[in-house]
Amino acid sequence: MPLLQKMNSTIISTIRVFFVLLGGALYSSADELKWQWELQDGGVITSIRALCAVDEKVCWFGTGNGMIGRTTDGGKSWERFVVPGAEDLEFRDVEAFDKNRCVAMSVGEGTSSRIYLTADGGQSWKLVFQNTALEGFFDGIAFWDRENGVLAGDPVEGRLFILRTKDGGKTWKPLDARIAPKMESGEHAFAASGTHLSLVAGGHLWVGSGGKVARIFYSYDFGESWTTLETPMILGEASTGIFSIAFKNPNEGIVVGGDYTKEEEGDHNAMLTVDGGRTWKLLNKSNGNSVFPFRSCVRYAPDLKTVIAVGPEGGNVSSDGGKSWREFGDQGFHTLSIGGSLNAVWAAGTDGRIAHLR
């Protein structure tokens, strides 16, 4: 092939590749710009911080006055159940497996922190665990699979409080206090969205803290052993620290939080890791991002590249795994859940606000 013809062929091929890549990027951006939150009527006016999307049709929420809500038709209608014995409690996390089985966690000091289970779509509920430690306070639940799960709570006797279940939430067993990592005075967790802990298959578990310090406690073996990881997250006040953690594999993860008394400010409150949390890169102006305001929940989408974060003042979306972000939507939320696809994204917040991503 003559040199000039070969050069022209190479240039044309390069241009084609460029436009294919550019087209993909433009499609992704245009697609995101079409996203919008469609508000739904969950039938409550109390703040919602407990939310679990199962799929495009089924989603559960929990709120105050012992109330649990469920939709099985994509949010067209919602059923509501008052859990007997929990009428004065607030649910801050729910973990659902399908339209019938759901684990619900209430919060509060001492015996107000409880775990309830339904296996018949909310028609009946069983109290499966009740906290007895005076200083105990439950913060969040997560499951590796349909059987194995973990609950993380505020420190009891100076150590991280962990419960494990191996039968889908029917029974729960506290982690031996001698194994649990030590926490400092003034260090605690936030029951803000049920996402201050993150799990990855194989037994990986990360639990975030805040207050006097902002750290992450990591276990690779279902909580049998622990490593304490330091972070550059904002700290020092009871209102500061890590609010939400999301890992997509044992190495890559993202953390958001901040100071909930300063929701519009962003300083040392969002960060990425590529080594399991041993080191962190802050998201701020110095690396090309706008100031990232207070966010209480972050989730990876099923493609593991799209990441959505929400907070009371708004939301952000990333198409590159969290490296760069743009503002998203005109609604604020406390929590977010993705049930297997971008057609199964729900968010919830103050005054009973609940929305589905369209």
The pLDDT value given to residue 12: 40
CATH number of the domain residue 95 falls in: 2.130.10.10
Question: Mean pLDDT across the chain, nearest whole number?
Answer: 90
Check pLDDT > 50 for residue 20: no
Q: How far apart are CA 240 and CA 214, in angstroms?
A: 8
Asked if 174 and 200 count as a contact pair (C-beta separation under 8 A), the reply is no
The pLDDT value given to residue 285: 57
Range 321-346 average pLDDT: 92
Asked whether residue 99 falls in the same domain as residue 205, the answer is: yes
Say how many C-beta atoms besides its own lie within 10 A of residue 31's C-beta.
12
The pLDDT value given to residue 163: 98
The pLDDT value given to residue 264: 84
More confident residue, 2 or 211: 211
pLDDT digits (tens, 9 = 90+) for 31-69: 555 788 999 999 999 999 999 999 999 999 999 999 999
What are the structure tokens assigned to 35, written together?
A: 């996203």
Lowest mean pLDDT among 189-203, 234-248, 313-327: 313-327
Q: How far apart are CA 268 and CA 208, in angstroms?
A: 15
Asked whether residue 183 falls in the same domain as residue 319, the answer is: yes
The pLDDT value given to residue 327: 86
pLDDT digits (tens, 9 = 90+) for 142-189: 999 999 999 999 999 999 999 999 999 999 999 998 999 999 999 999
Check pLDDT > 60 for residue 1: no
Asked whether residue 164 falls in the same domain as residue 135, the answer is: yes
The pLDDT value given to residue 330: 81
Q: What is the 3-state secondary structure (H, E, C) of the chain?
A: CCHHHHHHHHHHHHHHHHHHHHHHHHHHHHHHHCCCEEEECCCCCCCCCEEEECCCCCEEEECCCCEEEEECCCCCCCEEEECCCCCCCEEEEEEECCCCCEEEEEECCHHHCEEEEECCCCCCCEEEEECCCCCCCEEEEEECCCCCEEEEEEEECCEEEEEEECCCCCCCEECCCCCCCECCCCEECCCCCCCCEEEECCCEEEEECEECCCEEEEECCCCCCCEEEECCCCCCCCCEEEEEEEECCCCCEEEEEEECCCCCCCCCCEEEECCCCCCCEECCHHHCCCCCCCCCEEEECCCCCCEEEEECCEEEEECCCCCCCEEECCCCCCEEEECCCCCCEEEECHHHCEEEEC
- Cβ contacts of 25-31, under 8 Å, gap ≥ 24: 28/319, 29/319
Asked whether residue 28 falls in the same domain as residue 53, the answer is: no
Asked whether residue 155 falls in the same domain as residue 278, the answer is: yes
Q: How far apart are CA 51 and CA 84, in angstroms?
A: 20
Check pLDDT > 60 for residue 90: yes
The pLDDT value given to residue 344: 96
Asked whether residue 12 falls in the same domain as residue 140, the answer is: no
The pLDDT value given to residue 144: 97
Asked whether residue 12 falls in the same domain as residue 65, the answer is: no
Range 218-235 average pLDDT: 97
Asked whether residue 347 falls in the same domain as residue 320, the answer is: yes
When pLDDT is cut at 50, 70 and 90, the band that residue 226 belongs to is very high
Strand order in the sheet with 197-200: 197-200, 204-208, 215-219, 227-230
The pLDDT value given to residue 291: 60
Asked whether residue 101 falls in the same domain as residue 11, the answer is: no
Asked whether residue 28 falls in the same domain as residue 45, the answer is: no
Lowest mean pLDDT among 195-199, 282-286, 333-337, 349-353: 282-286
The pLDDT value given to residue 288: 53
More confident residue, 77 or 16: 77
Residue 183: domain span: 39-357
The pLDDT value given to residue 76: 96
| Residue 81 vs residues 43, 58, 124, 248, 250: alpha-carbon distances, Å | 11, 15, 9, 33, 37
Residues of the chain with pLDDT > 90: what percent? 81
Angle of CA points 207, 174, 62, to nearest 5°: 65
Asked whether residue 78 falls in the same domain as residue 166, the answer is: yes
pLDDT digits (tens, 9 = 90+) for 279-315: 999 987 555 555 678 999 999 999 999 999 999 999 9
Structural domain count of the chain? 2
Asked whether residue 24 falls in the same domain as residue 63, the answer is: no
Handedness of CA 99, 102, 108, 111 (dihedral sign): positive
Q: What is the pTM of this model?
A: 0.89
Check pLDDT > 80 for residue 263: yes
Range 263-289 average pLDDT: 84
When pLDDT is cut at 50, 70 and 90, the band that residue 22 belongs to is very low
Residue 88: Cβ-neighbour burial (10 angstroms; 0-12, 13-18, 19+): exposed
